């Protein structure tokens, strides 16, 4: 059976207190769930809450992985405000690189993204790399690819799972069979259908990950059919 990934992307949301409270509520939800998680769950959070969440996840022995949503293209040194991959050692296991919102609003180019991937690899971070189609370049060494349908992100209306599967299949074929996830307005109604597609290995969710009970609903939606 293929491994299914469920990646939460909190984007620019949550204070330290809100993040703590999300995790504490989610750990209660998980305790109610009697069987081991049928998914690999990765929580991608802002830098500002990653240290506190890392500690809590360890303390509570939660079966989830921690990621961040960006990394500097520079190694370290005089780059005011940048968070380098080295600084993330021990804080995050995964990093999202190339999210369409960063390409669009922060003008991240393929060249910058390649440097980010190189830095992340040097520090042993696992890379979740996002593209909007199978024509965009994907640097060597990424671990998970995400097909993001930018037009539907945050719209509440996901792409048709079968058509998303075609794009994911093309990405998988061009990238040596690496896991490919779909992102764009996934919710508990559509979660299972996306994950059931032959070339889709999971989903990345923004809006539906912000409340712990709604995020748990995604797991339940998947598990109850699985
Ligand atoms: P959304 O975000 O679930 O809010 O559409 C998805 C994403 O950021 O990939």
Each residue of 183-204: pLDDT tens digit? Answer: 999 999 999 999 999 999 999 9
pLDDT for 36 equals 86
The pLDDT confidence band at residue 34, using thresholds 50, 70 and 90, is confident
pLDDT for 225 equals 58
Q: Whose CA is nearest to atom 8 of ligand 1?
A: 206
65 has catalytic annotation:
no
Mean pLDDT confidence for 208-222: 95
Closest ligand 1 atom to 184 CA = 5
- CA pair distance 13, 71, nearest whole angstrom: 17
148 has catalytic annotation:
yes
For residue 47, is pLDDT > 60?
yes
The pLDDT confidence band at residue 2, using thresholds 50, 70 and 90, is confident
- CA pair distance 100, 92, nearest whole angstrom: 21
Closest ligand 1 atom to 9 CA = 8
183 lines ligand 1 (CB under 6 A): yes
CB atoms within 10 A of CB 43: 27
Angle at 133 between CA 104 and CA 114, to 5 degrees: 60
For residue 43, is pLDDT > 70?
yes
Predicted TM-score of the model (pTM): 0.97
For residue 226, is pLDDT > 60?
no
């Amino acid at each position: 059976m293929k491994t299914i990934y469920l990646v939460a992307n909190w984007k620019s949301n949550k204070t330290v207190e809100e993040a703590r409270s999300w995790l504490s509520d989610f750990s209660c939800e998980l305790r109610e769930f009697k069987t081991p998680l049928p998914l690999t769950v990765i929580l991608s959070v802002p830098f500002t809450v990653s240290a506190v969440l890392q500690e809590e996840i360890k303390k509570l022995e939660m079966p989830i992985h921690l990621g961040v949503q960006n990394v500097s293209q520079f190694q370290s040194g005089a780059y005011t405000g940048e968070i380098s991959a080295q600084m993330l050692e021990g804080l995050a296991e995964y990093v999202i690189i190339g999210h369409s919102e960063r390409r669009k609003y922060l003008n991240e180019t393929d060249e910058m993204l390649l440097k980010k991937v190189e830095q992340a690899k040097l520090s042993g971070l696992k890379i979740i790399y996002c593209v909007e189609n199978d024509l965009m370049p994907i640097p060597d060494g990424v671990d998970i690819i995400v097909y993001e349908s930018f037009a539907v992100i945050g719209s509440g209306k996901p792409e048709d799972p079968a058509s998303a599967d075609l794009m994911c299949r093309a990405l998988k074929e061009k990238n040596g069979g690496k896991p490919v996830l779909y992102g764009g307005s996934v919710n508990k109604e559509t979660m299972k259908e996306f994950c059931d597609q032959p070339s889709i290995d999971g989903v990345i969710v923004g809006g539906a990950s912000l409340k712990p009970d709604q995020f748990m609903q995604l797991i339940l939606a998947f598990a109850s059919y699985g």
